[in-house]
Structure formats: C-alpha cells, structure tokens
Amino acid sequence: MNLHLISTFVLVTHWLIVIGLSVRVIMRRPPVGVSVAWLAVIFSLPFVGAGVYLLFGEKRLGRRRASRIATTVDNMKQWQIGLRQQSNAVASPIEATSAPLDRYAERVLGFPALPGNEIELLDSFESVFDAIVADIDGAQSKADLPIVAIMPASR
C-alpha cells in the first residue's frame, strides 16, 4: 500500500466534503452567526465536523409534518385576526400606561393586548411553571398557554 496515495485521497476527500458542505450552509442562508458557527465546526473538525453538521445542522421535515406546521400557522393567524376583531369590538380602550406593551405585543408577537386582562411579572422559572399549572387547573373549557416574552433587564 502506498501511504502517500492513501493520505492524498483522505485529504482530497476531506476538502471536497468541506467545500460541498460550506456551499450548502451558505446557500441555505441561515443567520450570519449560525453560518459562521457551522462553518467553524465543519472546517475545524475533519470528517467529524461534517458528520455533526449532517446530524444536527439541518431541519429535515417530512411532507406531513411540514403541512401540519403550515396548518398550525394558518390556525394561529386566524386566531390572531379573531383577537384583533375582539380587541376592536371592546368599548373600553387600552389604558395609556399599557399602550407601549400593546404596541410591543402587536409588532413583535402579532398579538394585540386585550382590555381587561392583567399582567404579572414573574421573577423565577418556578413561579412561571406554577402560574401555568394554576391556569390549567383553573380552566373551565380550555387553556391557551400564556405568551412569555423574555427581555433582558435594563442596566
């Protein structure tokens, strides 16, 4: 066996895999940080980096799952439209102190704030889970899970 020939074959194979996966990562157009991280993994770990990317780097959804997700998104959009109509139909407007939260919820999350609701800030994950469990236990017909927006504390 010619050791030089084997090492050349392994090197060429590695670089073909690295170049092919690099083109694939770039063409999928993930966020820049994600692209750079995957390229670093692919380039720095010979063969193992390519294997890690192939295992974890791409979301492979079957047709049934993709159609189920599309249906769920359509249902969510219809629910949001219903919430907007409900918000517009309510006679009492959002209080001035709640207007920034209303704008934030509408622009970022797509959900309008509804008059008459309350907001409670929870300071630990245990209290979040306790509040969710209490809401589910207290529900009479159905429980829509709360939308939790985690924002960094201002410094």
pLDDT digits (tens, 9 = 90+) for 78-117: 887 887 777 677 656 677 777 787 788 788 877 777 766 6
Number of other CB atoms surrounding residue 94 within 10 Å: 18
Residues 53, 24: contact at Cβ < 8 Å?
Answer: no
Reading phi first (left if > 0) and then psi (alpha if -120 to 50, else beta), residue 94 is in beta
For residue 12, what pLDDT band results from cuts at 50, 70 and 90?
Answer: very high
Residue 35: C-alpha distances to residues 15, 51, 83 (Å):
18, 16, 37
pLDDT for the residue numbered 106: 80
* Angle in degrees, CA 124, 128, 133, rounded to 5: 145
In eight-state DSSP terms, residue 142 is -
